[in-house]
Amino acid sequence: MSTDVITSVRTALRSMLQWKPLAPGPRRGAPAAATLLVLTERVPAMAAPCRMHPAVYAIEAAVIDWARRTELRADPGVGFHRMAGRAFAEFDAAAAALFAQWLTWLFNLDDELDEGPCRLEVFQGLLAGGAAHPLEAAFADLWRVTSARMSDLWRTRFAANLRRQHDACRVEAENRATGRIPTLEQYPVLRRGTVGPYLYDLVEPCLRVEVPAWVHGCEPWQQLVDACIDVTAWCNDVASLPKERGDGHNLVVVVMHQLGLDQPEATAWVLDRIAERCQDMHEAARRLPLDTLTPRLARDVSKVACAYLAAPRAHLDWLLESTRYT
């Protein structure tokens, strides 16, 4: 690969460290989310709000229309279109709309697992390709659009991560039934499962690219993805703590239980770990083997990596303005 191409791709990655601020949306989100604002002073990549996609209202309309057709909830105040609009601000509106639809589906699934009558049974329908439940029908609709452009290897990876969420949610349900709180050693891996790890696979079809299997399996890529999942999941734990009312599947609660800290001390401990994982994420991005790829593949991999690097601040901005945790 030419030096110019390598330089341009790496410049794209480095640019994710310096956000261009725009006026933020209305701040009506959960008060607990404001605790996360300290990260904007400690993590350079989270110092300023993300750009918002210029077609954010068209993205919102696409999500609402799809949700009505599939009978899922899509409260505009929750604002999944705004999260996707920030994470995909540099890409076309179709990419952001598809990702926002998947976010809507995922959080409807999350609510079903927490509160609905079907709970884990809904996974059986998903894994078997059923369409009896609105979540199953909505999944089938999204899957037709998403998987058509992807390889069998990608589809297999997605299916494995869907199964991974099922298994993690089963462990979580068993823990809740017995009153067991996971340990600090167990929690990160468990949380990466319950958060919906396939959500991060969806960046590729949304951008109409595919990361080569060997790149996906290399250590820097795995570190990038795991760190991105940890940062967004743990930020969500901080913001959702009041809503979850002491559920043991929250990193703040795990820290309080195992280290004997009070809630402010445990929250500070979690914020320290989030800042460390942000650093891990950016270090992993710098070690990606871009110089071993063709120019086209290097650009494709860079696009996906840039979307991951955008995710933490996009998620923070969403937490600050969404009504989901109020």
pTM of the entire predicted model = 0.86
pLDDT at 74: 84
Contacts 24+ apart (CB under 8 A), 271-276: 271/35, 271/36, 271/38, 271/39, 271/42, 271/238, 273/234, 274/36, 274/39, 274/230, 274/231, 274/234, 274/235, 275/39, 275/42, 275/43
| Residue 288 backbone zone (phi > 0: left; psi -120 to 50: alpha; other: beta) | beta
Cβ(13)–Cβ(285) below 8 Å:
yes
pLDDT at 133: 80
pLDDT at 125: 60
Q: What's 3-18+25-318's CATH class?
A: mainly alpha
pLDDT at 121: 64
pLDDT at 20: 35
pLDDT at 164: 94
The token pair that represents 21 in the structure block:
């601020």
Distance CA 246, CA 253 (A): 7
- The domain limits of the chain are 3-18+25-318
pLDDT at 116: 54
pLDDT at 23: 34
Low-confidence spans in the chain with pLDDT less than 70: 1-30, 114-132, 246
Residue with tokens 């369409």: 131
Q: pLDDT tens digits for 42-79? A: 999 899 888 999 999 999 999 999 999 999 988 888 89
Q: Which of 59, 55, 65, 84 lies closest to 141 in space, CA to CA?
A: 65
Residue 307 burial by CB count (10 A; 0-12/13-18/19+): exposed, middle or buried?
Answer: buried
pLDDT at 5: 39
Cβ(191)–Cβ(233) below 8 Å:
yes
pLDDT at 25: 41
The angle that helices 93-115 and 134-147 make with each other, rounded to 10 degrees, is 150
pLDDT at 171: 94
pLDDT at 84: 95
Residue with tokens 């871009």: 290
- Give, for 59, the enclosing helix (H) or strand (E): helix 56-70
Residue positions counted in the chain = 326
pLDDT at 138: 93
pLDDT at 15: 42
